[in-house]
Amino acid sequence: MSAELTASAIKSKRVVYLVFATLTLLVLGLIYAWSIFAKPIGADYPDYGPLGTVFQVSMFAFCVSAIFGAMIIKRFSAKLAIIVAAVLLGGGFVLTALLSQLGLWSLYIFYGIFAGSGCGIAYNAIISLVNPWWPDRIGVASGVMMMGFGVSALVFGSLANAVFNSGISWKYVFIVIAAVGVLVMVALAVVVKPAPATVGQILGLPATTAAVEASPTQKQSILTTKVFWLYSAWATLSLCSGLTVIGSAAQGAAALGLTFGALLVGLISVMNGVARIVNGAIFDKFGLVAVMIVGSLAAAISMAACAIGFAANQPFVYVLGAILVAFSYGGVPVMASAYARQRYDAKIFAKNLGIANLNIASAAIINMIIAAVLGTAYGDSAIGIYILLAIFAIGALVATFLFSSAYKKDLAKIKEELS
């Protein structure tokens, strides 16, 4: 394949593939619109109680399933992984619509596990399929694709909310989402081709970017390296803030007397999408540590604002904090992709990306524990929860400085080995 492609042809193909992948992830990002979906579902089943944990379950499944998706990619292909994901996603939304009356457990299983797993497998497979076409712009390419994933709640979530307000049942909307999701995922699996192994060489990139063979340092197992665990500490502590707000923004706005909860979810979605491109550009220009510092500070400031919003009954301070935290949250998935590809063997990128994204699962588990012990982030315990999350963000900043020195040494060693 590589012998048939010129640098010009590669540049044309990869733009088309990037656009296609971004549009597909735009549909898949509806998983982030849970706080919009929770309103009509909660109205139908008020005895189910707070539904925020359903979102945390979906995020946990999103991460864990990516590991299984990586196995499918390695054993078979990214295309087959996308087809499997389409079945899980479509089945999850349809079964949620048809069987939700069976109890809260049905939401956990069909929306949380089935739909969440479908998104996780597809997300990993799509990034793994398209990212290798952009060895010279890893951060920006990842950011553009993930922008689609991030802004979905604004584009389609707001549309779904308008449909709900018109009186159409959420169950019909879920069935439509399932049909559209399956269609675009199958179309992407058919259209997008794997990048040639020599894409970097054809583009005339330097050895550290274009090398087909990994250096000894890059071949190290991700789980046995100190830098991964320091990176994971940063990612997990940073993600707790974003997952809390994204899963409860509409309810938080309502608790403070605001009537535009769906709009707030959309604004958070926009910031989430913008953050992915901005953080990708910061990574390409200044490196990973710069992104980690900015993200940690954004999380700390935003959580302090949310705490003040509830403590002083200042709804718009809460709104500003909720929007800002999306900047921090949006940077982590982009950095997982950029970090896994820059530091480790590109041949097992899908596996390493899945492992790096497990930090979303660990953050979701922490949030479920917080909810079980303290309650919801929009109830009586909201102030304490946001203060705790601000402390987590400060911990993420500390982890960043511990990570920085070890990571710089690793990159220098990789450069020396590939020279």
Are 133 and 196 spatial neighbours (Cβ–Cβ below 8 Å)?
Answer: no
Tokens of 276: 């992915």
With 0.75 as the threshold, say if the pTM is over it: no
- Which DSSP category does 212 fall into? S
pLDDT at 113: 94
The amino acid occupying position 169 is S
**150: CB partners within 8 A, 6+ apart:** 29, 32, 269, 272, 273, 274, 275, 276, 326, 330
Q: Note every long-range contact of 128-131, with CB atoms under 8 Å and residues 24 or more positions apart, other chains counting.
A: 128/70, 128/73, 128/78, 128/349, 128/350, 128/353, 129/17, 129/21, 129/78, 129/79, 129/82, 129/192, 129/194, 130/14, 130/17, 130/18, 130/21, 130/192, 131/337, 131/341, 131/349
Q: In angstroms, what CA-CA distances link 272 with 151, 246, 300, 319? A: 7, 10, 16, 14
End-to-end CA distance of the chain: 27
3-state secondary structure 215-276: CCCCCCCHHHCHHHHHHHHHHHHHHHHHHHHHHHHHHHHHHCCCCCHHHHHHHHHHHHHHHH
The amino acid occupying position 310 is F
Tokens of 385: 């929860």
Q: Environment class of residue 314 by beta-carbon count within 10 Å: exposed (0-12), middle (13-18) or buried (19+)? A: middle
Q: In angstroms, what CA-CA distances link 266 with 158, 215, 275, 352? A: 7, 43, 14, 31
Nearest one of 299, 337, 303, 338 to 318, comparing CA atoms? 303
Domain locations in the chain as residue ranges: 2-418
Q: Quote the crossing angle between the two packed helices 116-130 and 7-28, to the nearest 10°.
A: 170
Nearest one of 251, 252, 59, 22 to 150, comparing CA atoms? 22
Give me the DSSP letters along 113-145: IIIHHHHHHHHHHHHHHHGGG-TT-HHHHHHHH
pLDDT at 1: 43
Q: Quote the crossing angle between the two packed helices 288-311 and 226-255, to the nearest 10°.
A: 30
Tokens of 188: 């992407």
Total number of residues shown for the chain? 419
Nearest one of 250, 241, 179 to 34, comparing CA atoms? 250
Q: Which CATH architecture has domain 2-418?
A: Up-down Bundle (1.20)
pLDDT at 303: 96
pLDDT at 150: 64
- Which DSSP category does 3 fall into? G
Token pair 């200044």 is found at: 286
Are 94 and 190 spatial neighbours (Cβ–Cβ below 8 Å)?
Answer: no
Are 115 and 96 spatial neighbours (Cβ–Cβ below 8 Å)?
Answer: yes
Token pair 């315990």 is found at: 381
Distance CA 330, CA 338 (A): 13
Tokens of 346: 């590109």
Nearest one of 26, 129, 134 to 80, comparing CA atoms? 129
Distance CA 321, CA 303 (A): 6
pLDDT at 409: 92
pLDDT in tens, the chain (419 residues): 444 678 787 888 888 888 888 888 888 888 777 878 888 898 889 888 778 788 889 988 988 888 888 888 888 888 899 999 999 999 999 999 999 999 899 999 999 999 999 998 998 888 888 888 777 776 677 777 777 776 776 777 778 878 888 888 999 989 999 999 899 999 988 888 887 777 777 776 665 554 456 788 989 999 999 999 999 999 999 999 988 988 788 888 889 998 887 778 778 877 877 887 788 788 878 888 999 999 999 999 999 999 999 999 999 999 999 999 988 888 887 788 788 888 898 788 878 888 888 888 889 889 889 988 998 888 889 999 999 999 999 999 999 999 999 999 998 998 888 87
